[in-house]
Amino acid sequence: MSDTKPIALDAMGGDHAPHEIVAGAVHAVRERGLAVVLVGSPRVLYEALADHDATKEIPIVRAEETIAMDEGALASLRRPRSSIAIACHLVRRGDASAVVSAGSTAGIVTTGRLRLKAQQGVLRPAIAVALPTLPKPTLLLDAGANAEVKPEMLVQFGHLGSVYAELAYEIAKPKVGLLTIGSEAEKGNKIVKRAHELLQNSPGLHFIGNVEGHDLLTGVADVITTDGFTGNVALKTMEGAVRYAFSELRQTIDGSRMSKLGAFMQRSRLRELRRRLDAEAHGGAVLLGLNGTVVIAHGSSRAAGISAACRLAADLSAQGVVARIGDRIAATQRPHRLRTS
Amino acid sequence: MSDTKPIALDAMGGDHAPHEIVAGAVHAVRERGLAVVLVGSPRVLYEALADHDATKEIPIVRAEETIAMDEGALASLRRPRSSIAIACHLVRRGDASAVVSAGSTAGIVTTGRLRLKAQQGVLRPAIAVALPTLPKPTLLLDAGANAEVKPEMLVQFGHLGSVYAELAYEIAKPKVGLLTIGSEAEKGNKIVKRAHELLQNSPGLHFIGNVEGHDLLTGVADVITTDGFTGNVALKTMEGAVRYAFSELRQTIDGSRMSKLGAFMQRSRLRELRRRLDAEAHGGAVLLGLNGTVVIAHGSSRAAGISAACRLAADLSAQGVVARIGDRIAATQRPHRLRTS
């Protein structure tokens, strides 16, 4: 469909911008056959493209301002011509199909909400992250866009995640769990308890009940809904715990009296496993509920991660995720209209 | 000091009650030289003690009711003669030095608050869990007693945890971190942002600022304060992630072309590491802020975990943790009195 429109790639955001971002763009274009425009400082980007002999393959759109990695929401307001703002603008104008950025998450969320606006009926856009469960990922959302929520938002996050799971992982009727501190309906804080009631009565949603922290990686749910505070803490705790287990393990292996060859093999297998668990390989998080597809690549992304994020953005855009979410939200609101009319 | 008073051990709480609990009591008495009384059904406990030839070593205090593992707060009100209620009663009457239970956490918290009451000045008792950081554990609290908190409670949790860290780990000036979703002061929800301000101005507290989920296992803080909802989700997420990493790893090891001997060695080292990460080995969680020491052993505890929990309870009680918390809370309240008088 609109797949010929390019991905607008924020070339100035991320710990390894602009060189790894540009390298990722080159990979996405040459190896994945995607169309990409780089948004950022033309002089810098032209030079970086020249290193890859790619100045003729990838166009540049000028943006002289940048939101730094440690800047938050306010910077988005202060810098209306930042690379992420221009990338959003390209999508809004219909000149690009989706945005990819490895910049500051707070900056992307605020700029996205400001430039692309929330879709009609969407209370709050949310960040969905794919957790490395097998055979299919579990989507956790909100992973950090909304530190404060209302119960109704937790229900919507369930719907947003369901649409994503249907499109990206071809799950027919995604199972939705509510993250809380016990399996019984009355477990949790006030917001979660109310959300539990609403989820039980939300048409078109396959609510399986409460889930807990240890369920994030068991695949018991396809979609796990939570507020952005809890979701962000849980996600970072998970990343930290996996990193910790691996580092302890590496010491264990290195300290054991195995042959050098055996230890070498173990380490290479460990690396392989670690890659699979690595968030970057999944292409990053998706900001759902805006009038445009926005993929947030991990801040530490290198070329491979950026290229995977471009693939994810192109796929979601081609599958019409925005329209599908629009339909879904409209459907959930119909009974309300009936009741109030 | 009062070390001769026995530990009141709830023999009916836990997945493996009463047999593993009784076995744990026998171990604590014979191997650790502790004094223990078992609280529960006399007939059942006498038989279990007889299996160890220990009927003369360990007294039994009758409690005919039990709070089941899947029961929550309400059961505590309905069953005033439950084993956990009687155990609390023994401490209150001065007949026992501390309570140990592997029963339902909600049941223990509610019963403890009801029977032992919060210490003067303590807004809410909190559950402190020791995370397996090196060289010394990091204490996370609240790990689940309070799903809703006020900012002032988060400050008190910092003080409760500091006293625990000083006593149990001999840390002179424990570093206290506030769990949230970014390192900058303005990151988080409203309650956390206000708590950040209060923590900066709390006398006698060594506040090091915000910490995030990935800091739970790096040892950057000695004490991490959070609400019981977030803390519980983070703790279970951590446990689940470590379990996940190990299971993935076991498959990696079993699938590799190492000699059987090498694989066997690896597995035994893995088990060793896993034991260290196991919450049970630490003796369990401590409910701080009550007029009495209460240790919550893991629900799945077997004899070794129960015995370790008895050791922890005896040590904390001998060190006078209740009095030390009382002094500390009184000290934090003095400036307030000056200001208002």
| B10-54 tens-digit pLDDT | 999 999 999 999 999 999 999 999 999 999 999 999 999 999 999
B237 to A270: CB separation less than 8 angstroms, yes or no: no
Helix (H), strand (E) at residue B22: helix B19-32
Query: Would you state the pLDDT for residue A264?
Result: 61
Query: Would you state the pLDDT for residue A71?
Result: 75
Whether the Cβ atoms of residue A129 and residue A285 lie closer than 8 Å to each other = yes
Lowest mean pLDDT among A130-139, B122-131, B135-144, B162-171: A130-139
Residues in B 39-78 with any Cβ partner in A closer than 8 A? 70, 72
Assigned token pair, A230: 């809890």
Q: How far is CA B91 from CA A151, B14, B86, B329, in A?
A: 41, 20, 9, 22
Query: Would you state the pLDDT for residue B339?
Result: 47
Please tell me the distance from the alpha carbon of residue A245 to that of residue A241, in angstroms, as a whole number. Answer: 6
Whether the Cβ atoms of residue A180 and residue A192 lie closer than 8 Å to each other = yes
Cβ neighbours of A147 in B, within 8 Å? 181, 188-189
Residue A203 pLDDT exceeds 50: yes
Residue B198 pLDDT exceeds 90: yes
Whether the Cβ atoms of residue A44 and residue A66 lie closer than 8 Å to each other = no
- pLDDT averaged over chain B? 89
Cβ neighbours of A190 in B, within 8 Å? 148
Beta strands in chain A, from DSSP E residues, in sequence order: 7-10, 36-40, 60-62, 98-101, 126-131, 138-141, 175-179, 206-211, 223-225, 285-288, 293-296
pLDDT band, very low/low/confident/very high, at A132 (cuts 50, 70, 90):
confident
Range B192-206 average pLDDT: 96
Residue A270 pLDDT exceeds 80: no
Distance from CA of B240 to the nearest CA of A (A): 4
Domain ranges (residues) in chain A: 1-122+289-341, 128-279
Backbone angles phi, psi at A128, to 5 degrees: -105, 130
Lowest mean pLDDT among A154-163, A265-274, B11-20, B238-247: A265-274
- Rounded to a whole number of angstroms, the CA Rg of chain A reads 21
Range A55-82 average pLDDT: 84
Query: Would you state the pLDDT for residue B263?
Result: 61
Cβ neighbours of B147 in A, within 8 Å? 181, 188-189
Q: How far is CA A87 from CA A93, A305, A316, B29, in A?
A: 10, 19, 17, 69
Range A291-295 average pLDDT: 97
Instruction: Give yes or no on whether A1-122+289-341 and A128-279 have one common fold.
Output: yes
Residue A266 pLDDT exceeds 90: no
A207/A81: higher pLDDT: A207
Please tell me the distance from the alpha carbon of residue B133 to that of residue B113, in angstroms, as a whole number. Answer: 30
A148 to B189: CB separation less than 8 angstroms, yes or no: yes
Cβ neighbours of A277 in B, within 8 Å? 245, 248
pLDDT band, very low/low/confident/very high, at A2 (cuts 50, 70, 90):
very low
Q: Which residue of A has its CA nearest to B105?
A: A182
Query: Would you state the pLDDT for residue A89?
Result: 96
Whether the Cβ atoms of residue A10 and residue A98 lie closer than 8 Å to each other = no
Residue B2 pLDDT exceeds 60: no
pLDDT band, very low/low/confident/very high, at A267 (cuts 50, 70, 90):
low
pLDDT in tens, A205-219: 999 999 999 999 999
pLDDT band, very low/low/confident/very high, at A222 (cuts 50, 70, 90):
very high
Please tell me the distance from the alpha carbon of residue A205 to that of residue A220, in angstroms, as a whole number. Answer: 16
**Percentage of residues of chain B with pLDDT beyond 90:** 73
Strand partners, B101: B296
Residues in A 208-227 with any Cβ partner in B closer than 8 A? 212-218, 226
- pLDDT averaged over chain A? 89
Please tell me the distance from the alpha carbon of residue B281 to that of residue A179, in angstroms, as a whole number. Answer: 27
The CATH number of domain B128-280 is 3.40.718.10: yes
Question: Residue-wise over B205-234: b if at least 16 C-beta within 10 A, else e?
Answer: bbbbbbbbbbbbbebbbbbbbbbbbbbbbb
pLDDT in tens, A7-21: 999 999 999 999 999
The CATH class, in words, for A1-122+289-341 is alpha beta
Choose, out of B133, B180, B233, the residue to mutate when testing the contact with A (most A CBs < 10 Å).
B233
Query: Would you state the pLDDT for residue B43?
Result: 96
Q: Which residue of B has its CA nearest to A262?
A: B258
Query: Would you state the pLDDT for residue A65?
Result: 84
Choose, out of A127, A244, A266, A275, the residue to mutate when testing the contact with B (most B CBs < 10 Å).
A244
Task: For the domain made up of B1-122+289-321, give the CATH fold.
Answer: Isopropylmalate Dehydrogenase (3.40.718)
Cβ neighbours of A239 in B, within 8 Å? 213-214
Range A272-277 average pLDDT: 68
H-type helices in A56-104, by residue range?
Answer: 73-78, 83-92
Range A33-42 average pLDDT: 97
Cβ neighbours of A255 in B, within 8 Å? 269
Residue A165 pLDDT exceeds 90: yes
Residue A259 pLDDT exceeds 60: no
B262/B187: higher pLDDT: B187
Of the partner residues A213, A255, A272, the one whose CB lies closest to the CB of residue B237? A213
Residue B231 pLDDT exceeds 50: yes
pLDDT band, very low/low/confident/very high, at B340 (cuts 50, 70, 90):
very low
B180 to A233: CB separation less than 8 angstroms, yes or no: yes
Cβ neighbours of A266 in B, within 8 Å? 253, 256, 258, 266
Residue A234 pLDDT exceeds 60: yes
Architecture of the domain delimited by A128-279? 3-Layer(aba) Sandwich (3.40)
